[in-house]
Amino acid sequence: MAVLNSVFGLLERLENNYITVHQNRCIVVRNRNASCRRCAEACTSGCISYADNELTISPEKCIGCGTCATVCPTCALEAHKPDDAELRGELFTAAKAAGGSCTIACVDVLKEAEGSYDRAKVVGIACLGRVEESALIALAAAGVRRIELVSGDCEGCGYEKGLQTARSVCESATTLLRAWNNDAEVHIVNELPSSVLLTEETGYDEGRRAFFFAMKGLAGRAMGYAAQEQPEEAEADEPARVRVMSDGTLPHFIPDRRERLLDCLSELGEPQDVLIETRLWGHVIIDTGLCNGCRMCATFCPTGAISKYVNRDRTSGVAYRPRDCVKCGCCADICPEDALSISEEVFAVDLLSGAVERYEMRPMKSPPNNPHAILGAMKGLLKSDQIYER
């Protein structure tokens, strides 16, 4: 076992045919004070566990379900077999075969129902926790009106955490669809729908065939997704540690899933001007009265949603872009003055508009690049000006 202070290197043990690990994207690797434990909290098999400030990796327990990748806000964990592109291709193919509905089922459910359903109309996955919002919204953007996730006896198989994740994903997807005035339905059910079951007479269905041709681009999307976004091998000279860039911040990365999700929402049109609450976005609020101007929030922000700026008059602060926020909590964890909080709600229109909020900050009393920084810090700590350098 290893304490979180030495988590760098520990995540490498997760690397296998099902999971790719991008350590430099991990919130805890970037900031050892970060409170993110989502992969451990959601792990269905006990492969990743956390207790008494110790993170334990037991790679032999991994079942390749991909739930950890679903909950990771920065895509530090990337699922394979299938990867995201392959899974979306399978979903579109199944939706086309089913006439515009999509059924995703736990493999245990499909084993029990073997011989009673049409394999072309159902996508089987190790755990429903593998499904995330960008795939569901992509289906809705293509015209699919009903998406059903079929769960098995999750408590009986011991992987009930995957079902919890799936429920959270479905709630977020439904919230987004309603805000975008889309009537697609996303449900978790306990049995395969009748539309995918085999019958004694499975004759030609004129109505369903007509629907195939009415669904714009569905088949094309299926083939396109299957051919793109194949995982690339990490470059051999990838830095061993996260290194600060020239602007004084750590490298930024906006997850591909988030970009795809925003693209699909854009296809749905303009959203209502309403506040929405999902697991995906938060709204950072900074109390400039408490803020000491250190801008560490921008230094550690993994996506660049919070960035530094300096005006021509030498005033400075941070700019915040709600659409790029992944609600990882890193900024709140790092703030030394507790001047930063994260609201659970964000305006839907801000996610597509590129809205930017600017917070001007007072200069630091003892900026890090000041040769007299220690003197200034001691004066502040002791609340006295009677301290001198020699």
Q: What tens digit of pLDDT does each residue of 270-290 get?
A: 999 999 999 999 999 999 999
The token pair at 30 is 């970037």
The CATH class of 2-79 is alpha beta
- Cβ-based neighbour number of residue 179 at 10 Å: 21
Q: Give me the amino acid identity at 179.
A: A
Do 84-227 and 270-390 share a fold? no
The whole-angstrom separation of Cα 363 and Cα 218 is: 54
**In whole angstroms, what is the distance from residue 338 CA to residue 328 CA?**
16
- Predicted local distance difference test score (pLDDT) of residue 130: 96
Instruction: Count the alpha carbons within 13 Å of 48 in the hemisphere toward its beta carbon.
Output: 27
- Is pLDDT above 60 for 254? yes
Which pLDDT belongs to residue 275?
Answer: 97
Tokens 């938060």 correspond to what residue?
282
Q: Residue 344 is encoded by which pair of tokens?
A: 């659970």
Spatial distance between the Cα atoms of 116 and 122, rounded to a whole number of angstroms: 12
End-to-end CA distance of the chain: 47
Checking if the pLDDT of 26 tops 80, the result is yes
Q: Is the peptide bond before 82 cis (omega within 30 degrees of 0)?
A: yes
**Domain 84-227 bears CATH identifier 1.10.8:** no
CA distance 130 to 141: 20
Q: How many CA atoms lie within 13 A of 68 on its CB side?
A: 32
Evaluate if residue 358 carries a pLDDT over 70: yes
Q: Where are the domains of the chain?
A: 2-79, 84-227, 270-390
CATH 3.30.70.20 holds for 270-390: yes
Contact in structure between 163 and 151 (CB atoms under 8 Å): yes
CA-wise closest residue to 25 among 326, 340, 365: 326
How much is the average pLDDT of 190-210?
70
| Structure confidence at residue 75 (pLDDT) | 95
* Nearest residue to 32 via CA among 260, 225, 300: 300
Q: Which has more confidence, 234 or 354?
A: 354
Return the SS3 of 306: strand
pLDDT tens digits along 166-197: 999 999 999 999 999 999 999 999 999 999 99
Report, as an integer, the average pLDDT of 9-36: 88
Q: What is the pTM of this model?
A: 0.84
Residues 6+ apart with CB under 8 A from 13: 57, 59
Alpha helices in the chain (DSSP H): 27-30, 38-42, 67-71, 84-97, 107-112, 133-141, 154-157, 160-179, 206-214, 218-227, 256-268, 296-300, 330-334, 348-353, 373-382
- Is a pLDDT exceeding 60 seen at residue 65? yes
Considering all CA atoms of the chain, what is the largest pairwise distance in Å, rounded to the nearest integer?
Answer: 95
Least confident segment among 56-70, 113-127, 190-204 = 190-204
Residue 33 is predicted with a pLDDT of 85
The CA distance from 178 to 185, in Å, is 10
pLDDT digits (tens, 9 = 90+) for 373-385: 555 555 555 566 6
- What DSSP character marks residue 81? S
Whether the per-residue pLDDT at 132 is higher than 80: the answer is: yes
Phi–psi pair at 277, nearest 5 degrees = -125, 115
pLDDT of residue 365: 59
Q: What average pLDDT does the segment 83-110 reach?
A: 96
Structure tokens at 386: 């009677």
pLDDT at 298 over 70: yes
Is pLDDT above 60 for 209? no
Helix axes 84-97, 133-141, angle to 10 degrees: 40
| The pLDDT of residue 140 | 98
- Eight-state DSSP code of residue 233: P
